Amino acid sequence: MYKAVAKARRRHHLALAIGGATVSCILAACGSGASSSAGGSSGKVTVTVWADTGVGPTGAGPAPAGYKAITAAFEKANPKIQIAWRNYSPKQDPSSYQTLLTAVAGGHGPDVAAIDRFLTYEFAQKGAIQPIQPYLSSNSPVYAETKKIPGASFEQTVGGKLYGVTFPWQAVGFWSLCYNKSMFAKANLRPPTTWSQVTADAKALTKTKNGRYTQLGYEPYPIDDTEMWYYSQNNPIPLVSDGGNKANLTNADAVRAVKQFVAVMDAEGGYAKVSKFANPTSTLPSQDPFYTGKAAMDACGDWYLQTIAQYYPKLPVGVVPLPNVDGGKSYGWAGGWSFQIVKGAAHAKQAAKFMQYLMTKPATEKFEAAYTAYNQKHHLPNVIIGAVTFMYPDIVRHDMSSLRQTSPDLYQAVNHFLSVPQTYSGVNARPHTVAAGELFTDFNNAGIAAALHEGSPAAELGKQNTLLQGSINGDKG
Amino acid sequence: MATRGEPAPAVPARRTLDPTLDQGVAGAPVGGHAGGLASLSPRAAASAPWIKRRATREAVAGYLFASPWLIGFFGLLCFPLVLSLYYSFTNYSLLGKTRFVGLANYSALLHDPLVAKGAVNTVWMVAVGLPVGLIVGLILALFMDLQVKGTSLYRTLLYVPAATPVVAGSLLWVWVLNGQGGLLNDILNLLGLGGPNWLGTPQWSKPSIVIMTTWASVGPTTLILVAGLRNIPVHLYEAAVLDGAGRIRRFVHVTVPMLSPTLFFLIVTGLIAGFQVFTQAYVATGGGPVNSTLFYVYYLFNVGFGDFRMGYASALAWVLFIVVILITGIQFWYSKKWVHYDQ
């Protein structure tokens, strides 16, 4: 009796152990989440696209409505291709790039990913993305349309090959100066055209009560982007030279730019206090004093208008070219994002087909129709802005009359970006370097350290220049 | 143990080959082998075929039961550990071709200013954060040891931060430490004290991280110290009182020495954790402002998963590993001079 029980118990234990081991192996095998696509018995191919909420249909608002429309139109025209969007947010969380690169390295990356265009060179050097060129015909419209967008052709071409596409609805930057019209009118001031005027106006428009700010004259740009502020003012500052291999943060123009930033911050009471009020570590519009009507000036780009239209349509915003040293014509600086085919994409050919479609005029018109319908339904100002202003300006002008009536401030602001080719003396793109991310972080760190008076602008730029050179050398090694 | 009249611990019957343990509760022989083995020598008993089969089956069962852990230990810990040592001598980048570079990575980190920055920041965190955590934990433990009403509730509340995910806790602190509308500065303003720009200036960013790490770790620290305090025999305090020792003398000459094994444990584990500080900085400051919270492990992470210089990151990891091992060894050696294990 006992033997039988003991035997049964042993078998039971063995079965449990084998079962447990099997389950644990299965669980371990199921650990990785990212997957690319599946063919399936229907022969349908799924192209996976990782993009931000504003660059895909995964969020709410007019842009996702537009993305949904063009995705549906593409899938209808190409029944064997399905587009699967997945939200990832490098704009909010830079570690998203690490997620992307790790997925690519592990062979579980998407087919397409949206990245900030200035990283194209770095990602191409790392071998994380592949050129779109082999999948395009020589007369593809992608080439011609890319050339229309300032800076895009340079940033997306590496080693003579085109990488990715800039979507018409992507912001292109063209850094400008946004200002609060009411605050300027109340102080009887006109928008500044030189940086010395910015310093004086920042001081005049900064107000405090019981030692605390109630209004800031000039708001430093959030996160690690104040460098664009310096960069824009004296473009083209050669922050790297020798084909991106030599850090050049210590050049005279860069030193002058940081000095200018320090002067503005000091005029407002010092960077420590200003940053406490402006909360530059947050990109949330609700925590941004310019959007919430508590700051008079801010360096801005075309995407500001989309945010204002959606969340702060009553904000009396005005936009003028970025001031420069002598008050002459500004030299523009453009940025923006692009879609890239990642290394090892399972369906690169189909991905390229979709990306090419995104740049066409029919797709842009479909996007515009859905975008406008959303805004009308929600009674929002219909601000159409981005690369489309350079590619298809007629589509932008199509609905300007209604914007003029509903929101004259935003109408003027959109016009500012439409007239960029006339108002700016030139445009510059961000440089090719293997340490693109570090370039902007290091330049920004020099500005903050100098503004906190930890050292002179030249000394702080010198320190950061050493770090940048180390990053360039390390990435190359 | 038995001399105190406590019952002898039950020996698990199935973990021995003693045949008498195969008997039923009443001690009566069970099965055909009962009593048979008692007459055999141990060697002969062990070599009996049925015992061998059974031992094999039990061994297989044991390994299968342990297999989830064994697979994890060897596959996810040992193998990557050895592999990372190899990678530290290469330019491994995950995406490109791997080339052996000898000691180049180790040589490069000696000249990397961000390694130095990360090391200085980390040492600062250990030098300030560890004592702060221990002192706060000890103060709370002394209060908890008073055994006032509701102690169990306080103990539970104290442990809540440790049970909160570090990322969630860090995000909470980002709000609390917000310079303009944060809870802490609002309270300081009510008291007439202008709070600093906690996370936005290099002067205050590291103290902010200390506050965050202390909040997260103080619960377990306190509970361990409370357990240590309750192990101190009361007669030592009684003897001290008879000798005329006041509260401070009793604390210095009785509590601290008797608590030294617990403090030693907390110092060793706290120091290892301090060298690995990462999450709070990653979530709250991104290593800034101006690299003031760029800790060693954060830089290692950036190099590995940002730049994909896995070879270099592996070298950084091994240097940290060796440093931590050395410091821990020194601590154990020095502990002989101040840690008292005698009750």
Contact between B65 and A102 using a beta-carbon 8 Å cutoff: no
pLDDT for B29 equals 42
Question: Is B58's pLDDT higher than 70?
Answer: yes
Residue range A440-448: average pLDDT? 89
Region B245-268: mean pLDDT is 94
Question: Does the beta-carbon distance from B113 to A467 stay under 8 Å?
Answer: yes
Nearest to B228 by CA among B341, B317, B131: B341
**Are A445 and B114 in contact (CB < 8 Å)?**
no
**What Å distances lie between residue A61 and A54, A310, A396, A397, CA to CA?**
8, 8, 18, 21
CA distance A90 to A98: 9
Q: What is the DSSP letter of A45?
A: E
CA–CA gap between residue A295 and residue A476 (Å, rounded)? 42
Q: Which residues of A touch B288 (CB under 8 A)?
A: 224, 281, 445, 448
CB neighbours (10 Å) of residue B80? Answer: 12
CB A355 within 8 A of CB A135: no
Give the mean model confidence (pLDDT) for residues B141-153.
85
Residues in chain B, total: 343
pLDDT band at B244 (very low <50, low <70, confident <90, very high): very high
Q: What is the pLDDT of residues A158-208, one digit of tens each?
A: 999 999 999 888 888 788 899 999 999 999 999 998 889 999 999 999 999
Task: Give whichever of A200-204, B34-38, B43-47, B170-174 has the largest mean pLDDT.
Answer: A200-204
Cα(A74)–Cα(A63) distance, integer angstroms: 17
CA distance A232 to A229: 5
When mean pLDDT is compared across A94-98, A443-447, B182-186, B339-343, the lowest value belongs to B339-343
Q: Which residues fall within 8 angstroms of residue A303, CB to CB, at 6 or more apart?
A: A171, A385, A386
For residue B203, give Cα distances in angstroms to A11, A213, B206, B288, B292: 65, 21, 7, 11, 8
Please indicate whether, in this complex, the C-beta atoms of B179 and A25 are within 8 angstroms of each other.
no
Identity (one letter) of the amino acid at A374? Y
Disruptive mutation site among B74, B89, B95, B170 for chain A (greatest number of A CBs within 10 Å): B95
Structure tokens belonging to residue A472: 């360039």
Q: Of A32-46, B18-32, B68-82, which one has max mean pLDDT? A: B68-82
Element (H, E) at A368: helix A361-377
Q: In terms of CA atoms, which chain B residue is nearest residue A127? A: B95
Contacts of A265 in chain B (CB under 8 A): none
What pLDDT shows up at residue A291?
A: 94
Give the whole-angstrom CA distance, residue A100 versus residue A196: 43
A349/A345 Cα distance (integer angstroms): 9
Residues A24, B307: C-beta atoms closer than 8 Å? no
A3/B286 Cβ within 8 A: no
Nearest chain B alpha carbon to A447: B290
Residues of A with Cβ-Cβ distance to B194 under 8 angstroms:
211
CATH superfamily ID and name for B105-335: MetI-like (1.10.3720.10)
- Which has the closest alpha carbon to B83: B325, B310, B322, B319? B310
Categorize the per-residue pLDDT at A4 as very low, low, confident or very high, splitting at 50, 70 and 90. low
* pLDDT value for B39: 56
Among partner residues A98, A454, A467, which is closest to B306 by beta-carbon distance?
A98
Between CA A431 and CA A178 the distance in angstroms is 25
Q: Which residues of B touch A437 (CB under 8 A)?
A: 306
Report the pLDDT averaged over residues A250-255: 89
Give the mean pLDDT of A203-215: 91
Kindly state the tokens that stand for B307. 């730049």
Write the pLDDT tens digit of every residue in A269-326. Answer: 999 888 888 876 666 787 789 999 999 999 888 889 989 998 999 999 999 988 887 7
- Say how many C-beta atoms besides its own lie within 10 A of residue B9's C-beta: 8
Closest-CA distance, B175 to chain A, in angstroms, reads 11
pLDDT, residue B6, reads 42
The distance of B303 to chain A (nearest Cα, Å) reads 9
What is the predicted pLDDT for the residue at A435?
A: 87
| Torsion sign across C-alpha atoms A23, A27, A28, A29 | positive
Instruction: For B70-126, give the secondary structure using H, E and C.
Output: HHHHHHHHHHHHHHHHHHCCECCCCCCCCCECCCHHHHHHHCCHHHHHHHHHHHHHH
> What is the average pLDDT value for chain B, to the nearest integer?
85
Count of C-beta atoms within a 10 Å radius of residue A22: 12
Inter-chain touch A126–B96, beta carbons under 8 Å: yes
Q: What is the pLDDT of residue B40?
A: 58
pLDDT for the residue numbered A227: 65
Distance from CA of B24 to the nearest CA of A (A): 9
- E strands, A207-356, are 207-209, 212-219, 240-241, 246-247, 295-300, 317-321, 330-333, 337-342
Domains of chain A are 45-171+336-372 (3.40.190.10), 176-333+399-476 (3.40.190.10)
**Which range, of A281-285, B227-231, B260-264, B339-343, averages the lowest pLDDT?**
A281-285
**Which of A5-14, A218-227, A289-298, A428-437 comes out lowest in average pLDDT?**
A5-14
The most confident of A391-400, B25-34, B68-77, by mean pLDDT: B68-77
Q: How far is B226 from chain A (nearest CA, A)?
A: 38
The CA distance from A376 to B26, in Å, is 88
B95 interaction partners in chain A (CB closer than 8 Å): 101, 104-105, 126-128, 343
CA B74 vs. chain centroid, Å, equals 21
Per DSSP, the residues of A438-454 read: HHHHHHHHHHHHHHTTS
Task: Say which residues have a Cβ less than 8 Å from residue A330's Cβ, sequence separation at least 6.
Answer: A232, A321, A322, A323, A324, A423, A424, A425
Residues in chain A within 8 Å Cβ distance of B113: 466-467, 470
Give Cα separations from A46 to A452, B1, B148, B321 (angstroms).
Answer: 51, 69, 64, 44
Assess contact for A391 and A364: CB atoms under 8 A.
yes
Judged by average pLDDT, the poorest of A254-268, A274-288, A416-430, B300-314 is: A274-288
- Banded pLDDT at B329 (limits 50, 70, 90): very high
- Tell me which of A14-23, A326-335, B330-339 is least confident: A14-23
Say if CB A191 and CB A320 are below 8 A apart.
Answer: yes
Residue carrying structure tokens 């049964």: A8
d(CA B191, CA B182): 14
For residue A340, pLDDT beyond 80: yes
Distance (Å) from the alpha carbon of A116 to chain B's nearest alpha carbon: 15
pLDDT at B18: 43
Residue of B nearest to A125 (CA): B96
**A199 to chain B, minimum CA–CA distance in Å?**
22
The Cα A128–Cα B24 span in angstroms is 68
CB contact under 8 A, A127 and B194: no
Tell me the average pLDDT of chain A: 85
Residue of A12, A108, A214, A281 to mutate, interface with B, max B Cβ within 10 Å: A281
> Distances in Å between the alpha carbon of A442 and those of A117, A466, A471?
19, 10, 10
**Percent of chain B clearing pLDDT 70 (strictly above):** 86
**What is the complex's ipTM, to 2 decimals?**
0.77
In the structure encoding, which two tokens stand for residue A133, read together?
């060129």
> B177 and B200 in contact (C-beta within 8 Å)?
no
Q: Is the peptide bond before A236 cis (omega within 30 degrees of 0)?
A: yes
The residue to which tokens 């079965």 are assigned: A15
Q: Which of A29-43, A84-98, B85-99 has the lowest mean pLDDT?
A: A29-43
**CA–CA dist B295, B312 (Å, integer):** 16
pLDDT tens per residue, range A92-136: 776 788 889 889 988 899 999 999 898 899 899 888 999 999 999
CA distances from A447 to A205, A252, A256, A455, A470 (A): 22, 14, 11, 10, 19
Task: Tell me: pLDDT of B214 over 80.
Answer: yes
**CB A445 to CB B31 under 8 A?**
no
Domain ranges of chain B: 1-47, 105-335
Length of chain A: 477
Q: What band does A334 get if pLDDT is binned at 50, 70 and 90?
A: confident
Predicted local distance difference test score (pLDDT) of residue B13: 40
Cα angle vertex A96, ends B205, A465, to 5°? Answer: 55
| A20 — pLDDT class (breaks 50, 70, 90) | low
Would you call A404 exposed, middle or buried from its count of C-beta atoms within 10 A (0-12, 13-18, 19+)? middle
Eight-state DSSP code of residue B40: S
Question: Rg of chain B over CA atoms, in angstroms?
Answer: 28
Measured between beta carbons, which residues in chain A are less than 8 angstroms from residue B282? Answer: 95
- pLDDT bucket at B213, cuts 50 / 70 / 90: very high
Q: Radius of gyration (Cα) for chain A, nearest Å?
A: 26
Q: Report d(CA B275, CA B126) in Å as an integer.
A: 7
Query: B343 or A372, which is more confident?
Result: A372
Q: Which residue in B90, B308, B310 has the most chain A C-beta atoms within 10 A of its own C-beta, making it the best mutation to test that interface?
A: B308
Res. B94 pLDDT band, cuts 50 70 90? confident
The residue of chain A with its CA nearest to that of B301 is A98
Query: Can you tell me the distance from the alpha carbon of B227 to that of B141, in angstroms, rounded to the nearest whole number?
Result: 9
The pair of three-digit structure tokens given for residue B270, joined into one six-digit string: 């706290």
Question: Are residues A195 and A325 in contact, defined by beta-carbon separation less than 8 angstroms?
Answer: yes
Mean pLDDT on A73-79: 96
Residue A269 Ramachandran class (φ > 0 left, ψ -120 to 50 alpha, else beta) = left
Band of pLDDT at residue A439, cut at 50, 70 and 90: confident
